[in-house]
Amino acid sequence: MDRRTFLLQSTLATAGLATTGLSASAISPNNKKTMEDIKIDEIENHFLQSESSRFRPKTKIGMGGVALGNGFHVNPDVECIQAVEEAWNSGVRYFDTSPWYGLGTSERRMGISLKDKTREEFTLSSKVGRILSPKEDFKMERSLWYGKLNFSYRYDYSAAGVRKSVEDSLQRLGVSTLDIIFIHDLSPDNGDMKQDWLKYFDIAAKGAMPELTKMREEGLIKAWGLGVNTIEPILKTIDVADPDIFLSACQYNLIKHDELFNKVFPKAAKRDISFVIGSPLCAGFLSGKDRYLYSPDFPSGVKAKLAALQKVAAKHNVDLRTAALQFCAAPDIVSGVIPGSHTIQQATENAASFGVKIPNEFWDDLKKQQLILENVAIPKV
């Protein structure tokens, strides 16, 4: 895809967001209109993917699986299953999970939730890189995962490890196929690896990456890439392999987006590689949670930027959480946005946010105040 095509195709969300009648304040917490009153039956059609030589999820609107793995706190089984069902009823047709999320908990809950759905009607992605082994009451220090854990893990980025990981995921999910496989946490921010991540990367470059390409050619999967929180592994993988899609968490949101947009998107677009955006709300930071991404620490400047974003949102009567989700969906190179949820209300609100009209004046104001890049893709009314 050349730059002209990239720009011309920019923002599939443009077409989708312009076709609904919901106002920017429709799902504001201060609005008396309940989520049940908002009709979003058309949401799937609004976000069908544009033409691509590589596989993309059925819709940009997706659901992430961190919360289903008891990320940040324990979430009841029934609550999580109801959240997935509500996401489905709201038009979501892309679901992402991982063996790492709750050490198998997320995959089991996701599988139970989707087992009666027609397999061809939705896109399902999971991840490889960690092999789980039974271990009663497994403990981790400073773990993101709460509740009882009955599995330990080890890293394996070899060809054989990839095959085993995929087979194990299919068993936990109770499905016959996976559409997308992401090589997980092969990144310098991985606390287990740190600077040794390059050693693991070399193993993956010789093992996992060619094996996933082979599995794609065999028809066992439709696409593969990396699921990481930094940009360096993405750029290296584009140089050494033939990925289709990346899951980039923490790098594209209203707080931070410049490096991915300016350095990575143009390079990936030349190969028609797309991106799934994880942590679009910065793990809840943009929706009012007292945390930033996956750490209790707040980097310098993020709270001040959040306050500035909230001020502009209030001025234009825009729900900031809704704006944050739409912002992530705006570039055409983005093929999925996967906010997490573990309640019916969260699932409904997330899906409804993609059907809201946000005035151009809001985005213009953000650019004027240099809160977002001047050249960044934005949804159009």
Binned at pLDDT 50, 70 and 90, residue 50 comes out as: low
Distance CA 277, CA 237 (A): 17
Binned at pLDDT 50, 70 and 90, residue 262 comes out as: very high
- What is residue 309's predicted lDDT score, i.e. its pLDDT? 97
Above 70 in pLDDT, residue 282?
yes
64 closest CA partner among 131, 117, 126, 114: 126
Average pLDDT, the chain: 88
Above 90 in pLDDT, residue 215?
yes
Provide mean pLDDT across the span 313-331.
97
Full set of structural domains in the chain with CATH: 38-309+331-352 (3.20.20.100)
Tokens coding 240: 């050494």
The answer to whether 174 and 112 have CB atoms below 8 angstroms apart is yes
106 closest CA partner among 166, 64, 148, 139: 64
| Strand ranges, E, within 93-216 | 94-96, 123-128, 130-134, 151-155, 180-184
**Comparing 18-32, 176-190, 337-351, which segment has the lowest mean pLDDT?**
18-32
The answer to whether 54 and 274 have CB atoms below 8 angstroms apart is yes
- What is residue 22's predicted lDDT score, i.e. its pLDDT? 46
Tokens coding 53: 């030589």
H-only helix segments in 61-104: 77-89
Q: 6: which residues sit within 8 A by CB, 6+ positions away?
A: 266, 269, 332, 333
Distance CA 302, CA 299 (A): 6
- What is residue 31's predicted lDDT score, i.e. its pLDDT? 39
The answer to whether 41 and 23 have CB atoms below 8 angstroms apart is no
Q: 108: which residues sit within 8 A by CB, 6+ positions away?
A: 172, 173
